[in-house]
Structure formats: structure tokens, C-alpha cells
């Protein structure tokens, strides 16, 4: 897929921006604070419903109004689509092809994207939540039944936690059955995708400038001990009643990374972790492209994160698997294949001819 046009209104310091990007490669350069990252952030908000910079959605609106608007025209699965999102701190309204959208997942499905940004290393060193989101993004785009299963399991989990806090032990028998059935199905979807990802990652050739990635192993942990989730829930019930929370299940799943039987997070430098994350994200993009729909790849300030050789390697891989690539940086690009260059300054964006 690729974006044909983008219009942003009142998003951070971007008061009114309209661009028509190149279908393959686009560079956005300018000083720090000019609004380069905000361009990418606006796209991420449309696709994921939330920002990668802040958990407080109200911070995204500029000074002109309480809400922001993002509109774009894209090419997805051989068809043109128009989509838009208007949002303030509490409410949102989305449309696609002239129709109101009831769930933001509709936009997500039609706007697949992979983002690399300065904090991407937290995929390795951060909490399991980020690694579950990373995994679930891939599952969502290849398994149509995943989202419904995830939502149903989340509802069952909330009901079970409420029953635990209320001491409703009789209700827990039926909720354990439901949670176990949905949880194991959810785990099946995750494990199928993880197996593809881990195999593809292990078979890749050494990434230029990143020899440390050789022999890195990926391990999936489902979130409970033993083969049966139902048995795990029953065993943990007494402890769960005392804590008021479910301790076993796919909401506790994690992905571990190791090399030479040591945890990567403890032996890799931050730079090496960033190299690993870049390779993982690109591998996700490659898997999605293999399904027939190359995603949008966003590279935010990557030149400041990697040396020239590694940056060039990432860009080449991104171009090979992406439908379109957007790159931000503080300096104008050097030689590149067919592309467009945009200068971002004080919240305005100008194409350089």
C-alpha cells in the first residue's frame, strides 16, 4: 500500500499541511522541533488510534482548536481509499470512503505500517506489553479471526477479575472454562505467527553493520505454565482471589530474546538492541509483503541512531519490502533512488523540486 495524499489540520505544531508523497520513497528533513516526527505521528494515530509519543491524546491538538483532523487518500489492495480521523481528548470520529467507521480497526486494516523511532529499543528492554503489541500487530494483519478472539478474551478476563475481587467463587467455574477456551485459541493464533517470524528471522543473512544479530534466538512464552490453561487457572485460583487479578493466561504472554544462552537485554548495548529491533520490524514487514500487501514503513530520525552503513542497509531492506517508505532527519538526503524531498520548518512542509 502507499499514501497518495495527506492533509493534517491542527496536529501539534502542524496547523495546516497538505502533501502528495512519492509512491516509493520520501525524505522529510528539518531542525529538531520543526514537525517532522509529528507527520509520522499523525499517520500512526490514524492507523493505531493512539500516538507513539504520548498516552495523552489531548496533547496532540494544536492551539487553534480542541481537536485535530487527519485525512488521507491511499492505495490498498489495488483500490483507492479515502479515510479520515477527527479526535479530541475524549471523542473520535472516523470515516472511510464516505462511510462512518464504528471501529478504528477498520482503518488499521487498510493502513498497515511499521514504525522505527528512537525508542524502538524498548521492544527489547521494555515491558512485556510492548512485545505483545508487536506480536499482535503481525497476527492481526495475517489472521482475520484474531481481533474478535482477542476482544472476547479481554471481556472474559475483565469479568473474571471482577468475580475474583467480589469473591464470587461459583461464577469462576464458568468463567474459567470460557477464559481457557478463548485464551488457548488466542495463543494458537499467536504461536502460528510467531513460528513464522522466528523461522524467518533465524534464516536471514547477517545484516550489514550488525554482526551481533547472528545466532540470536527468539522464544515465545504463552503466559501460563503447563499445557492446559484451564488447569493453570484452577491451580492459581486461590492466589488470584487474594490478589484480585488473573495471573495465568495470554495477557501475560511474552517474547524473549537470547544469545549464547544469555538474555539479550542484559548483554546487548542500546545500539545493538536497536539493530535487533530494526531487523525484527523489517522482518515483520517482509512477512506482510509476502502475504501480498507491502506495508508503509516509517523511519523516524534513523540516521542519528545508526552509522551510515547500517542506515543504508535498513533503507535498502525497507525499500525491498515496503509499499512506501517515509524517512525523517535533520539534514537533506544524499543520493537515493527515485524519491521526493520535503523541507519541514516551523510546522510547515514544502516540497523541494
Q: For residue range 248-280, list pLDDT tens digits in order.
A: 999 999 999 999 999 999 999 988 899 899 999
- 141-189, pLDDT tens digit by residue? 999 999 999 999 999 999 999 999 998 988 999 999 999 999 999 999 9
Q: How many Å apart are CA 35 and CA 158, to the nearest integer?
A: 39
DSSP label at 287? H
Q: How many Å apart are CA 174 and CA 187, to the nearest integer?
A: 20
309 against 258, higher pLDDT: 258
Burial grade of 295 (CB within 10 A; 0-12, 13-18, 19 or more): buried
For 240, the grid coordinates are 488470584
Mapped onto helix, strand or coil, the DSSP state of residue 199 is: helix
Q: So where are the chain's domains?
A: 125-268
* Angstrom distances, CA of residue 241 to CA of 164, 175, 208, 237, 245: 5, 14, 51, 6, 7
Strand bridging mode 2-11 / 68-76: antiparallel
The vertex-49 CA angle with 43 and 52, nearest 5°, equals: 65
Q: Which of 146, 37, 45, 30 has its CA nearest to residue 88? A: 45
Q: What percent of the chain lies above the pLDDT cut of 70?
A: 98
Say if residues 70 and 42 touch (Cβ distance below 8 Å): yes
Task: Say yes or no to pLDDT of 206 above 60.
Answer: no
pLDDT of residue 205: 57
Binned at pLDDT 50, 70 and 90, residue 100 comes out as very high
| CATH assignment, 125-268 | 1.20.1050.90
- 226-237, pLDDT tens digit by residue? 999 999 999 999
Binned at pLDDT 50, 70 and 90, residue 209 comes out as low
Amino acid at each position: 500500500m502507499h499514501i497518495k495524499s495527506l492533509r493534517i489540520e491542527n496536529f501539534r505544531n502542524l496547523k495546516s499541511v497538505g502533501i502528495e508523497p512519492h509512491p516509493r520513497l520520501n525524505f522529510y528533513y528539518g531542525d529538531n522541533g520543526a514537525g517532522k516526527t509529528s507527520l509520522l505521528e499523525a499517520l500512526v494515530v490514524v492507523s493505531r488510534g493512539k500516538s507513539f509519543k504520548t498516552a495523552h491524546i489531548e496533547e496532540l491538538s494544536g492551539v487553534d482548536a480542541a481537536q485535530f483532523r487527519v485525512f488521507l487518500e491511499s492505495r490498498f489492495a489495488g483500490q483507492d481509499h479515502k479515510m479520515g480521523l477527527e479526535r479530541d481528548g475524549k471523542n473520535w470520529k472516523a470515516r472511510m470512503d464516505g462511510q462512518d467507521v464504528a471501529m478504528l480497526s477498520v482503518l488499521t486494516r487498510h493502513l498497515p505500517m511499521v514504525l522505527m523511532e528512537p525508542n524502538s529499543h524498548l521492544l527489547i528492554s521494555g515491558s512485556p506489553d510492548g512485545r505483545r503489541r508487536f506480536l499482535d500487530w503481525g497476527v492481526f494483519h495475517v489472521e482475520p479471526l484474531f481481533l474478535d478472539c482477542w476482544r472476547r478474551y479481554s471481556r472474559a478476563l475483565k469479568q473474571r477479575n471482577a468475580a475474583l475481587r467480589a469473591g464470587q467463587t461459583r461464577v469462576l467455574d464458568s468463567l474459567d472454562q470460557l477464559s481457557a477456551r478463548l485464551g488457548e485459541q488466542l495463543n494458537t493464533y499467536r504461536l502460528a505467527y510467531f513460528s513464522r517470524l522466528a523461522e524467518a528471522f533465524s534464516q536471514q543473512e547477517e545484516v550489514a553493520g550488525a554482526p551481533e544479530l547472528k545466532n540470536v534466538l527468539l522464544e515465545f512464552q504463552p503466559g501460563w505454565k503447563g499445557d492446559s490453561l484451564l488447569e493453570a487457572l484452577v491451580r492459581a485460583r486461590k492466589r488470584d482471589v487474594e490478589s484480585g487479578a488473573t495471573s495465568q493466561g495470554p495477557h501475560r504472554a511474552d517474547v524473549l530474546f537470547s544469545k549464547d544462552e544469555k538474555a539479550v537485554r542484559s548483554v546487548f548495548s542500546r545500539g545493538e538492541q536497536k539493530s535487533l529491533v530494526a531487523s525484527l520490524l523489517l522482518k515483520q514487514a517482509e512477512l506482510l509483503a509476502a502475504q501480498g500487501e507491502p506495508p508503509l514503513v516509517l523511519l523516524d530520525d534513523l540516521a542519528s541512531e545508526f552509522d551510515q552503513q547500517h542506515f543504508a542497509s535498513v533503507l535498502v531492506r525497507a525499500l525491498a519490502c515496503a509499499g512506501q517508505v517515509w524517512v525523517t532527519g535533520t539534514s537533506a538526503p544524499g543520493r537515493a533512488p527515485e524519491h521526493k524531498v520535503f523541507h519541514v520548518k516551523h510546522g510547515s512542509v514544502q516540497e523541494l523540486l
